[in-house]
Amino acid sequence: MEPKHDSKWAKFHPMWDGFYTFLFTPGETTSRGSHIRDGIDLKRTMFMVVLALIPCLLFGIYNTGHWHYVATGEAGEYMDMFGDKLIYGLIQVLPIVIVSYAVGLGVEFIFCIKNQHAIQEGFLVSGMLIPLIIPADTPLWMVAFATVFAVVLGKEVFGGTGMNIVNIALTARAFLFFGYPTMMSGDKVWMSGISDLSRETLEANGVTGATQLGELASFTGPKADWIYPGGLEAFQAKWSIMDSFWGFIPGSIGETSVVAILIGAALLLYTGIASWRIMLSFVLGGFVVGILSNMGAINPYMELEPLNHLVIGGFAFGAVFMITDPVTASQTNTGKYIYGFLGGALSITVRVFNGAYPEGVMMAILFMNVMAPLIDHYVVSANIKRRTKRLKTKTA
pLDDT band at 219 (very low <50, low <70, confident <90, very high): low
d(CA 235, CA 284) in angstroms, rounded, equals: 24
| The pLDDT value given to residue 196 | 72
Q: What is the DSSP string of 172-203?
A: HHHHHHHHSHHHHSSSSSSSTT-TT--HHHHH
Task: Average the pLDDT over 52-61 and give the result.
Answer: 96
| The pLDDT value given to residue 1 | 43
pLDDT band at 35 (very low <50, low <70, confident <90, very high): very low
- In the predicted model, what is the mean pLDDT of the chain? 83
pLDDT tens-digit profile of 165-204?
Answer: 899 999 999 999 999 888 887 777 788 888 777 666 766 6
Q: CB of 147 within 8 A of CB of 187?
A: no
| The pLDDT value given to residue 41 | 63
User: Residue ranges of the alpha helices (H) in the chain?
Assistant: 13-23, 42-71, 82-115, 123-132, 140-154, 168-179, 181-184, 199-204, 212-217, 224-227, 232-238, 241-246, 258-271, 276-295, 306-311, 315-317, 333-353, 361-395
Q: CB of 323 within 8 A of CB of 286?
A: no
| The pLDDT value given to residue 77 | 84
Q: Which of 35-44, 142-151, 186-195 has the highest average model confidence (pLDDT)?
A: 142-151
d(CA 298, CA 316) in angstroms, rounded, equals: 25
| The pLDDT value given to residue 46 | 84
Task: Average the pLDDT over 82-87 and give the result.
Answer: 93
| The pLDDT value given to residue 319 | 96
Task: Average the pLDDT over 250-277 and give the result.
Answer: 93
| The pLDDT value given to residue 2 | 46
Q: Give the SS3 label for residue 222.
A: coil
- Of the candidates 170, 85, 158, 136, the one whose C-alpha atom is nearest the C-alpha of residue 360 is 170
pLDDT band at 205 (very low <50, low <70, confident <90, very high): low
| The pLDDT value given to residue 27 | 58
Q: Is the pLDDT of residue 352 over 90?
A: no
| The pLDDT value given to residue 156 | 81
Q: CB of 46 within 8 A of CB of 124?
A: yes
Q: Is the pLDDT of residue 3 over 70?
A: no
Please give the DSSP secondary-structure letter assigned to residue 253.
T
| The pLDDT value given to residue 246 | 93
Lowest pLDDT segment from 82-96, 203-217, 273-287: 203-217
d(CA 394, CA 396) in angstroms, rounded, equals: 6
| The pLDDT value given to residue 222 | 47
pLDDT band at 220 (very low <50, low <70, confident <90, very high): low
Please list, residue by residue across 2-25, b when 16 or more beta carbons sit within 10 angstroms of its beta carbon and e when fewer do: eeeeeeeeeeebbbebbeebbeee
Lowest pLDDT segment from 66-80, 135-149, 281-295: 66-80
Task: Average the pLDDT over 40-52 and give the result.
Answer: 81
Lowest pLDDT segment from 21-30, 139-148, 191-200: 21-30
| The pLDDT value given to residue 32 | 57
Lowest pLDDT segment from 149-163, 250-264, 267-281: 149-163
d(CA 13, CA 2) in angstroms, rounded, equals: 8
The kind and range of the H/E element at 28 are none
pLDDT band at 34 (very low <50, low <70, confident <90, very high): very low
Q: How many CB atoms lie within 10 A of CB 228?
A: 21
Q: Is the pLDDT of residue 387 over 70?
A: yes
Task: Average the pLDDT over 308-333 and give the result.
Answer: 92
Task: Average the pLDDT over 213-228 and give the result.
Answer: 57
d(CA 131, CA 83) in angstroms, rounded, equals: 22
End-to-end CA distance of the chain: 67
**Long-range own/partner contacts, residues 222-231 (CB < 8 A, 24 or more apart):** 231/300
Task: Average the pLDDT over 72-81 and give the result.
Answer: 83
More confident residue, 86 or 21: 86
Q: CB of 257 within 8 A of CB of 311?
A: no
pLDDT band at 261 (very low <50, low <70, confident <90, very high): very high
Kindly report the backbone phi and psi dihedral angles of residue 304, in degrees, each rounded to the nearest multiple of 5, phi listed first. Answer: -60, 140
